[in-house]
Chains A and B, each alone.
Chain A
């Protein structure tokens, strides 16, 4: 019985994965695409338009900065965020908004190309920015955009401490009158 369930499960998974791959490969692969829907009369036309990346010209890379030297010529080079060495806070929405989709969801690591640690850090800071209501134009449709319209404790301003991202035990705030 268990074997039968396992076989059925793998069949279903294969079916899902194969269909999702095939749906992308119907047009020319290996190009940035924008899926556009336009309606002419009663027919709906969905097309994948090949677009140039809007970010390539504005891209900042550590190796392009004059005077940059790799710290240690080790076997594995650091990822681009580690190489840049930026001190990103959760309020830097102009940087964090580059790592999310239009619904505010963090992009996976195979698309961002970050190392594990940076992916975790950026992902948590995106969560912080969303909870603080700083990126309310990048949220799902059913989201209560304005934090003031949220319920209970969520409707008041909240700030976060970036040191807590990689901290196992969060220290108590220094409040000497705390009970």
Chain B
């Protein structure tokens, strides 16, 4: 085997570390994206028995965005196993307790339930803020594209730009500015 082929072989089967910024991302949309990288489905050599999945580091999981009224409508079910041990936790309550749990459960549920799933989940790192430990961050060499645009707040746009932005609505002639 030539040196170039050996490097190609090494590069094909090496694990890449991806980073994913969860800021203003829907966890259930992004779980389908993260899942592909975790299982290695983005690679042409993918096979369910081929251990070719990558590592994904999710940051800013506290800043995820749910659609509409889902923060107070979506419930997470847990049963202790004892009679009367059922409990339903709303999404915002769960996010208060552990800001990494919603994205973790979303990725877990997006994958097919087989014996490989729990091992694949071991390759997912989730952090609720931007500070990632140094030994994790030094491996990262790739970034996963976000599916939703991060909105800009009006008070973060410079005032001059807001004033000079093309206007659509003009006040009527007898309007008193408020």
B65 close to A135 (CB less than 8 A): no
Scan A76-104; emit 1 where CB is below 8 A from any B CB, else 0: 00001100101000010111011101110
Residue contact A156 to B153, C-beta cutoff 8 Å: no
Number of interface residues of A (CB under 8 A): 57
B residues contacting A by CB (< 8 A) are 24, 26, 28, 63-68, 70-72, 77, 90-92, 95, 109-110, 148-149, 151-155, 157, 162-178
Q: Does A115 contact B (CB under 8 A)?
A: no
12 A-B contacts (beta carbon < 8 Å):
A54-B163, A55-B169, A55-B170, A58-B166, A60-B166, A84-B168, A113-B172, A134-B153, A156-B71, A157-B64, A157-B65, A160-B68
Q: Do residues B92 and A24 form an inter-chain contact, with CB atoms below 8 A?
A: no
Does B65 lie within 8 Å of A159, measured CB to CB?
A: yes
Q: Is the CB of A134 within 8 A of B154?
A: yes
**Distance A81 CA – B162 CA, assembled complex (angstroms):** 20
| Given contacts A58-B165, A93-B152, A111-B175, A161 and B71 within 8 Å (CB-CB) | no
User: Separation in Å of the B63 CB from the closest CB of chain A?
Assistant: 6
What's the nearest-Cβ distance from chain A to residue B73, in Å? 9
Complex CA gap A55/B178 in Å reads 15
B-contacting residues, A149-174, CB 8 Å = 152-153, 155-161, 164, 170, 173
